[in-house]
């Protein structure tokens, strides 16, 4: 229950950061979320919101305009393998 | 030594499922983007600005409050510097006014108007918060702005065009947006060059060695009004190469933009 509240609070904070902070801070927050929480699939939603809010049509990531979504996917794949190889990881993951 | 046995098969299965979910989500988002990308984009901009508006207003109030705390000495120095600048600009303006009048008279002779309608817009979100040199503005279709209308900074410097529009908000993409190509004219020589946006208000262009471009040259858009796009800040020339690199910059700081003007009628 404690982790769920923490996760919801983190999601609300990240959502607000997308619109009020520099893009890199919001993206960093998503990356932290991926590392902190298991199956942080809401990161894709945040990535997509970033793409919709800031992206310009046809000029980012080979015309797909989904730069952040691909960044989140890439980081999630890296985290997937990273998490398994970190022994201390289970102690602080929520 | 005793090793704990790991269930590798189960773990690799979990990994495959996770990778599958990630790929699936990306595919679904790609499909949604392909089908409804534009509509969702303007919806997000409108919703996003309503989220950021309270923070934007709060930030303005904070900066107003902190201006009282600024040291008196700094304020006196700033005041003097601004007075000097105003005096210099007044002199320039006198000659500019007469030239503008003369320009208008010439255009009237040829039945062309120099008057264009603009609406003042407040910049809600700007670089470096935005990553691709885009601005979120507080004017939309209700203010007679429309897609592809030009966005001007102070002094009639053209910054970009409206890219997405909602009722009360819009998104402008700057000409300095990375990899964006803009055809401009070197005002001094009337030669055409193509600027390529590099982000942060910067441009680059590769031109043949024969093209006459110098540092401090003004680059303007083609048209009756010749609005300034950028100023050449450097020309890198290598005798071994047939081309030279022109580096240009928007003559105002796009990171400090508070207000811009948005064209409400297409230019002539």
Q: Whole-prediction pTM value?
A: 0.66
Residue B225 has pLDDT above 80, yes or no: no
For residue B233, what are the CA distances in angstroms to B6, B153, B164, B167? 63, 19, 31, 38
Amino acid B267: pLDDT: 44
Of A68 and B93, the structure prediction assigns the larger pLDDT to A68
**Contact status, residue B48 vs residue A18, Cβ threshold 8 Å:** yes
pLDDT < 70 regions, chain A: 56-63, 87-94
- Over residues A12-38, the pLDDT tens digits come to 999 988 888 888 889 999 999 998 888
Q: Answer yes or no: is pLDDT of B203 > 70.
A: yes
Q: B5 to chain A, minimum CA–CA distance in Å?
A: 15
Q: What's residue B151's pLDDT?
A: 92
Cα dist from B227 to A87, B43, B206, whole Å? 61, 32, 22
Residue B132: its chain A contacts at CB < 8 A?
A: 54-56, 59-60
Model ipTM value: 0.78
pLDDT of B48-74, one tens digit each?
Answer: 777 777 766 666 666 566 666 666 677
Residues of A within 8 A of B19 (CB-CB) are: 77, 80
Whether A5 and chain B come into contact, CB under 8 Å, resolves to: no
Looking at chain B from residue 81 to 140, which residues have their Cβ under 8 Å from any Cβ of chain A?
125, 128-132, 134, 136
- The answer to whether the CB atoms of B18 and A39 lie below 8 A apart is yes
Per residue in B62-71, is it b (16+ CB within 10 Å) or e — as a string?
eeeeeeeeee
Q: Are A19 and B125 a contacting pair at CB < 8 A?
A: yes
Closest Cβ–Cβ partner in A39, A60, A66 for B132: A60
Judge whether residue B35 has pLDDT over 90: no
Predicted local confidence at residue B245, as pLDDT: 92
pLDDT above 60 (res B1): no
Of the pLDDT bands very low, low, confident and very high (cuts 50, 70, 90), residue B256 is confident
Among A15, A55, A73, beta carbon nearest to B26: A73
Q: Which residue of B has its CA nearest to A53?
A: B45
* Closest Cβ opposite residue A53 in set B18, B30, B48: B48
């Amino acid at each position: 229950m404690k982790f769920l509240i923490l996760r919801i609070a983190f999601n609300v904070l990240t959502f607000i950061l997308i619109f009020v902070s520099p893009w890199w801070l919001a993206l960093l927050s998503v990356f932290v979320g991926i590392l902190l929480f298991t199956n942080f699939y809401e990161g894709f939603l945040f990535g997509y919101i970033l793409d919709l809010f800031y992206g310009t049509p046809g000029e980012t990531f080979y015309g797909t305009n989904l730069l952040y979504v691909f960044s989140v996917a890439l980081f999630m794949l890296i985290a997937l393998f990273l998490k398994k190889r970190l022994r201390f990881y289970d102690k602080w993951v929520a | 030594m005793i090793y704990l046995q790991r269930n590798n098969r189960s773990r690799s299965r979990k990994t495959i499922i996770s990778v599958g979910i990630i790929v699936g989500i990306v595919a679904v988002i790609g499909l949604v983007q392909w089908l409804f990308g534009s509509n969702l984009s303007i919806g997000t901009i409108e919703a996003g600005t309503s989220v950021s508006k309270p923070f934007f207003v709060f930030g303005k109030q904070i900066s107003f409050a902190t201006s009282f705390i600024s040291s008196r000495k700094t304020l006196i120095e700033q005041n003097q510097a601004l007075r000097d600048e105003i005096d210099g600009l007044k002199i320039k303006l006198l000659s500019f006014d007469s030239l503008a009048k003369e320009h208008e008279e010439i255009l009237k002779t040829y039945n062309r108007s120099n008057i264009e309608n603009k609406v003042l817009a407040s910049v809600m979100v700007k670089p470096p918060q935005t990553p691709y040199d885009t601005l979120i503005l507080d004017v939309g279709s209700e203010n007679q702005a429309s897609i592809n209308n030009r966005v001007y900074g102070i002094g009639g410097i053209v910054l970009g065009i409206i890219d997405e529009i909602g009722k009360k908000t819009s998104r402008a993409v700057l000409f300095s947006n990375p990899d964006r190509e803009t055809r401009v004219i070197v005002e001094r020589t009337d030669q055409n060059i193509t600027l390529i946006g590099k982000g942060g208000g910067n441009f680059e262009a590769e031109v043949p060695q024969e093209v006459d471009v110098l540092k401090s040259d003004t680059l303007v858009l083609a048209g009756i009004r010749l609005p300034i796009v950028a100023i050449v800040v450097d020309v890198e020339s290598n005798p071994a190469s047939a081309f030279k690199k022109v580096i240009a910059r928007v003559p105002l700081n796009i990171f400090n933009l508070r207000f811009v003007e948005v064209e409400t009628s297409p230019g002539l």
